[in-house]
Amino acid sequence: MLLMKGMALLPFMLSLLVLLHYHNEVHCYGDKQLLHLPWDTVDSTCLSHKSRQEKGATILEMKHQDYCYGGGVKDWNKLLQKRLILDDLRVQSLQARIKNMASTQTHDVSDDRLPLTSGVELGTLNYIVTVEIAGRKMTVIVDTGSDLTWVQCQPCKSCYSQKEPLFNPTASPSYRTVPCNSSECQSLAFATGNTGICGENPPTCNYVVSYGDGSYTRGELANDQLNLGKTPVDNFIFGCGRNNNGLFGGTSGLLGLGRSSISLVSQTKAIFGGFFSYCLPSTQSGASGSLVLGGNSSVYNTSSPISYTRMIPNPKLSTFYFLNLTGISVGGVTLQDLSFGKSSMLIDSGTVITRLPPTMYRALKAEFQKQFSSFPTAPAFSILDTCFNLSAYQEVDVPTIKLQFEGNAEMKVDITGVFYFVKTDASQVCLALASLSFEDEIGIIANYQQRNQRVIYDTKGSKLGFAQESCSFT
């Protein structure tokens, strides 16, 4: 279905990074999804994130970072384009970290090796929740590709600007630093790739985490009481950041949902059994999703059955979540590529655009272009090379993309995760998947394609689950 816009119709905007409002609902027709246009931007303010407990699970409201901190953006075109560049730097960092961990190399980090970069107001890690440390509310970025949870602390040698007050350890009677000879300090090498550093007077454990895109945090390892909604976590190990810079926006820090011993998942295993899930919302006005800690699936609002695939074990890369991609279909057409099922893929909530091995991506690109050939093309941009000019259309039928995983698990990519709008007037609209540089690099299932899905992590059963869900916090 193609409907042309009138000359006086305002240009539309669609992006993971823009605050949006749907004019109409999205309908599905067989192997296509109908995308209604235009979409309007909405100026919004971030309300306090909610939480609740239900049937033994703790549920935290989750929102996109831009919903809270994107209201002051003046040039969305520039921001959208910069985001792709920064996302590519994150992927390069992940690939380098994976190679280093696979070769069992760790690094001693000193002051003169701290990466430096110019500050950027908005980051590439997009989804946020609110937690409490020692009774202070902290809005933090959720990242399954990181292990150490950290927040900015007073006094701060160098901190980026955040919306909430900095955490003040001296105001918390339960705050304790972690000794440098402790097992927690020694675990930093495996969790972050950097060994802990012994401070002086007293000999506390100092940490540094660099994210490859120029962002970094360094400070001391500490413990205090963490509250997840009304669920307390005593003696929670986290980083108290004294020197932080980069792509964290107005947030207070980061929540690490990786698999090492210092991640939130491991530290709360006695409470939640190593089980969590999320539903990543779109960026439309008022949209919210949820981070569910605990394994009671009856609290989900899924619209399709949950299908599970096993986590692929990798002893040298055991802090990451891997799965086996066995097939892709576009508009009901199954792609033919011999590389399916031969190498594991990383699933990550912090990367924006999904990356596929080159031969696999070329097959997807060719089939999508074949089915979308009636629309005018547009120049490629950055990592995205399958682009169209949709500025003249009011609604379009978009081929449905489905990802198949080992064990007959399937993830149907939501309509909001198919296109990335480089230009807000829709004159440059690109397929929101990209190719890796080399066949031997690790593919990544990123957050853009995970939107409006319930993604379930069962670390005890070593499996991942997928189901369709219109994300909301109800």
Q: Which domains does the chain have, with CATH numbers?
A: 76-97+301-468 (2.40.70.10), 126-272 (2.40.70.10)
The pLDDT value recorded for residue 46 is 53
Confidence category of residue 373, pLDDT binned at 50, 70, 90 = very high
Distance CA 184, CA 191 (A): 10
Which residue of the set 337, 348, 397, 414 is catalytic?
348
Residue 230 φ/ψ, nearest 5 degrees: -100, 10
Average per-residue pLDDT in the chain?
83
Q: Cis omega (within 30 of 0) on the bond before 38?
A: yes
Per-residue pLDDT at 43 exceeds 60: no
3-state secondary structure of 316: helix
Q: State yes or no: pLDDT of 342 exceeds 50.
A: yes
Asked if residues 392 and 386 have their Cβ atoms less than 8 Å apart, the reply is no
> Is there a catalytic annotation at residue 348?
yes
SS3 at position 370: helix
Summarised one tens digit per residue, pLDDT across range 44-96 is 445 457 888 998 899 999 888 765 655 555 676 777 777 787 788 788 878 87
Give phi and psi for 271, each to the nearest 5: -95, -50
- If you average pLDDT over each of 86-100, 187-201, 277-291, 348-362, which comes out highest? 348-362
Cβ neighbors of 89 (< 8 A, separation 6 or more) are 212, 213, 214
* Three-state SS sequence of 91-155: HHHHHHHHHHHHCCCCECCCHHHCCCCCCCCCCCCCEEEEEEECCEEEEEEEECCCCCCEEEECC
Give, in order, the Cα–Cα distances in Å from 58 to each of 130, 299, 456: 13, 10, 14
pLDDT above 60: residue 150: yes
Beta bridge partners of 227: 132, 232
Asked if omega into 202 is within 30° of 0 (cis), the reply is yes
What is the Cβ-side half-sphere exposure of residue 269, based on CA atoms within 13 angstroms?
Answer: 13
Give strand pairing partners of 34. 27, 397
**In the predicted model, is pLDDT for residue 137 greater than 90?**
yes
Q: Which residue of the set 88, 143, 397, 414 is catalytic?
A: 143
pLDDT (tens digit per residue) in 206-253 = 999 987 667 899 999 999 999 999 999 999 999 999 999 987 878 899
Read off the pLDDT band of 34 (50, 70, 90): confident
Give the count of beta carbons closer than 10 Å to the beta carbon of residue 69. Answer: 21
Amino acid at 446: A
pLDDT at 195: 87
For residue 42, pLDDT beyond 90: no
DSSP conformation class of 295: S
For tokens 């109908």, name the residue.
34
Q: Please check the confidence at residue 424 and state whether its pLDDT lies above 90.
A: no
Q: What is the mean pLDDT of residues 10-14?
A: 32
Average pLDDT over residues 127-132: 91
Nearest CA-CA partner of 269 in 299, 301, 236:
236
Pull the structure tokens for residue 436: 């890796």
pTM: 0.85
The pLDDT value given to residue 16: 28
Given this model, what pLDDT does residue 123 score? 38
Q: What is the pLDDT of residue 14?
A: 32
Contact partners, residue 148, CB within 8 Å, separation at least 6: 188, 191, 192, 207, 209, 238, 239, 254, 256, 262, 263
* Whether the predicted pLDDT of 17 surpasses 60: no
Q: What is the pLDDT of residue 124?
A: 37
pLDDT of 321 reads: 96
Q: What Cα–Cα distance (Å) separates residue 299 from each residue in 58, 278, 325?
A: 10, 12, 28
Q: What is the pLDDT of residue 339?
A: 83
Q: Is the pLDDT of residue 29 over 50?
A: no
